[in-house]
């Protein structure tokens, strides 16, 4: 099944990393095949080993996070093995441009008989060409002096025979759950008729996407004075870049979610009413305003004003963005990448 996500900054960086990995493999003596034959299979690169002369399938995962989620590693491994078996390729390597805990790396490699290359492995391979190394350092925005490079480069890529069949079904179950969420979301009628169903469904989707990043998940939470009711409020866990940024840089330990199942784009009045829920001294300065059609131009201006004048971040997510986040999870990517992109874009484009 081909799952397409709208191109954005994260997607472009991912494609740039794939191209860079092709060049790094070529610089290390691998014969890289044309991409066109594999662009729809879930395999990013197919290359022939320089010594054993065997074809190897590569999947490349980009992330801004220092660590890659364990569940995403499992899903990516299963999908790569299935794609490799379908193409008649018997060795596979998962390249992840992030750090991975050694015990997790070893556990997944033993379970799936797949090799995983982490960021240090990739940097070591790139070190054969200073230009390639510089491109990788710039792409990942890292300090090379803090990395541990392996001088024995020729021994880094050592894939073994992958399993002919899997004894786990995590990727299929994850895909089934994700596609069911997409179908359920799209089936909800916009407007008052579907407002409660929209709230419940999106709440479940958010827990599916960010269960390792947020905790609490209080729905229909009221303030003690009984004047305000939040659709959902969560406490932030500092596991990934975007949530660390929200917690530390924006000083918001709690995040609100508001759900608007409107037939039209939301207006500035919805933004103003949401802004009242955000309170600096309560460490509650961020809200994700989730609607079917997204914000109107006036609503965008109101969100910019809340950030510029009061330091309150109100970020709009529409139905299409939710679907992209789900598809990202299905394919073994980290949904936090797309979320970080939205936050980054909003703050970088904030007018004076």
Report the CATH number that the domain containing residue 31 is assigned in CATH.
3.40.1350.10
In a domain, residue 4? The reply is no
Residue 297 class from Cβ within 10 Å (0-12 exposed, 13-18 middle, 19+ buried)? exposed
User: Percent of the chain beyond pLDDT 90?
Assistant: 70
Q: Which two tokens stand for residue 319?
A: 């139905």
Q: Tell me, yes or no, whether 2 lies in a domain.
A: no
> Domain span at residue 51?
9-166
* Mean pLDDT of the 310-324 span: 96
Q: How many CB atoms lie within 10 A of CB 186?
A: 9
Rounded distance between C-alpha atoms, residue 274 and residue 285, angstroms: 11
Enter the pTM of the model: 0.86
CA–CA dist 320, 1 (Å, integer): 19
311: alpha, beta or left? (left if phi > 0; alpha if psi -120 to 50):
left
Q: How confident is the model at residue 188 (pLDDT cuts 50, 70, 90)?
A: very high
Average model confidence (pLDDT) for the chain? 89
User: Would you place residue 228 in the very low, low, confident or very high pLDDT band (cuts 50, 70, 90)?
Assistant: low
pLDDT at position 167 is: 64
Domain count along the chain = 2
Give the pLDDT score at 41: 57
Computed on alpha carbons and rounded to an integer, the radius of gyration of the chain in Å comes to 22
Q: Which residue has the higher pLDDT, 227 or 43?
A: 43
Q: CATH code at 205?
A: 3.40.91.30
- What share of the chain has pLDDT > 70, as a percent? 92
User: Domain check: are 219 and 145 in the same one?
Assistant: no
Instruction: Quickly state the pLDDT bin for 171 (edges 50, 70, 90).
Output: confident
More confident residue, 92 or 38: 92
Asked if pLDDT for residue 266 goes beyond 70, the answer is yes
Does residue 181 contact residue 329 with C-beta atoms inside 8 Å? no
Q: pLDDT band at residue 308, thresholds of 50, 70 and 90?
A: very high
Paired tokens of 269: 């009045």
Does residue 318 sit in the same domain as residue 273? yes
Position 218 scores a pLDDT of 87
- Taking CA 44 as the corner, what is the angle to CA 40 and CA 49, rounded to the nearest 5 degrees? 130
Give the residue-averaged pLDDT of 169-197.
Answer: 93
Output the six-digit token pair for 214: 């947020």
CA atoms of 330 and 307, how far apart (whole Å): 32
How many whole angstroms separate alpha carbon 142 and alpha carbon 78?
A: 29
Lowest mean pLDDT segment, chosen from 31-45, 88-102, 185-199, 286-300? 31-45
Q: Which of the listed residues 112, 146, 166 is the one where a domain comes to its end? A: 166
Dist. CA 81–CA 166, nearest whole Å: 8
If one counts every other C-beta atom within 10 angstroms of the C-beta of residue 103, the result is 8
Same structural domain, 187 and 266: yes
**pLDDT tens for each residue of 109-141:** 998 899 999 999 999 999 999 999 999 999 998
Choosing from 112, 131, 166, the residue where a domain stops is 166
Q: Please compute the mean of the pLDDT values over residues 207-214 and round it to a whole number.
A: 93
pLDDT at residue number 346:
94
Rounded CA-CA distance 68/116 in Å is 12
pLDDT class for 227, splitting at 50, 70, 90?
A: very low
**Nearest CA among 344, 296, 300 for reference residue 141:** 344
> Cα separation of 41 and 64, whole Å?
25
pLDDT band at 294 (very low <50, low <70, confident <90, very high): very high
At 310, is the secondary structure helix, strand, or coil?
helix
- What span, in angstroms and rounded, lies between the C-alpha atoms of 132 and 129? 5
Least Cα distance to 275 among 300, 306, 317, 308 occurs for 306
Confidence of residue 7 (pLDDT cuts 50, 70, 90): low
- In a domain, residue 1? The reply is no
Name residue, tokens 């169903």: 197
Sequence-ordered strand ranges (E) for 263-318: 286-291, 313-317
Same domain, 337 and 305: yes
What is the structure's pLDDT at 103?
Answer: 95
pLDDT tens digits, 15-53:
999 999 999 999 999 999 986 644 445 799 999 999 888
pLDDT per position as a tens digit, 239-255: 888 999 999 999 999 99
| 335: pLDDT strictly greater than 50 | yes
Residues in Cβ contact with 273 at an 8 Å cutoff, skipping those fewer than 6 apart = none
Residues 179 and 280 reside in one and the same domain: yes
Residue 238 belongs to a domain: yes
Residues 55, 258: Cα–Cα separation, whole Å = 50
Residues 96/119, Cβ–Cβ less than 8 Å: yes
pLDDT of 1 over the 50 cut: no
**What's the CA gap between 223 and 306, in Å, rounded?**
21
| Strands 286-291, 45-48: pairing kind | unpaired
Residues 82 and 190 occupy one common structural domain: no
Residue 159 in tokens: 């894939």
């Amino acid at each position: 099944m081909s799952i397409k996500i709208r191109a954005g900054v994260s997607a472009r960086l991912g494609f740039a990393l794939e191209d860079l990995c092709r060049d790094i493999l070529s610089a290390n003596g691998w014969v890289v095949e044309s991409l066109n034959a594999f662009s729809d299979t879930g395999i990013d690169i197919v290359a022939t080993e320089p010594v054993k002369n065997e074809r190897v399938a590569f999947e490349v995962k980009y992330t801004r996070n220092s660590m890659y989620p364990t569940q995403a590693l499992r899903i990516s491994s299963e999908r790569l093995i299935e794609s490799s078996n379908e193409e008649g390729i018997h060795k596979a390597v998962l390249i992840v441009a992030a750090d991975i805990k050694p015990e997790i790396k070893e556990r997944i490699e033993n379970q799936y008989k797949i090799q995983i290359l982490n960021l240090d492995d990739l940097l070591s391979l790139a070190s054969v060409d200073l230009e390639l190394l510089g491109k990788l350092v710039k792409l990942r925005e890292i300090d090379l002096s803090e990395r541990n490079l392996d001088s024995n480069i020729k021994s880094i890529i050592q894939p073994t025979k992958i399993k002919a069949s899997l004894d786990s079904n995590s990727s299929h179950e994850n895909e089934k759950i994700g596609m069911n969420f997409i179908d359920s979301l799209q089936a909800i009628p916009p407007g008052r008729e579907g407002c409660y169903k929209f709230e419940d469904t999106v709440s479940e989707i958010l827990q599916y996407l960010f269960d390792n990043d947020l905790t609490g998940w209080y729905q229909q939470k009221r303030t003690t004075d009984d004047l305000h009711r939040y659709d959902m409020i969560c406490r932030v866990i500092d596991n990934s870049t975007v949530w660390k940024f929200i917690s530390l840089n924006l000083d918001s330990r709690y995040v609100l979610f508001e759900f608007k199942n409107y037939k039209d784009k939301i207006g500035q009045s919805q933004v103003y009413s949401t802004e009242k829920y955000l309170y600096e001294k309560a460490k509650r300065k961020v809200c994700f305003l989730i609607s079917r059609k997204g914000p109107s131009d006036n609503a965008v201006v109101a969100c910019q004003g809340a950030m510029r004048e009061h330091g309150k971040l109100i970020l709009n997510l529409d139905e299409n963005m939710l679907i992209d986040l789900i598809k990202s999870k299905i394919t073994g990517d980290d949904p936090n990448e797309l979320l970080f992109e939205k936050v980054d874009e909003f703050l970088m484009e904030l007018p004076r």
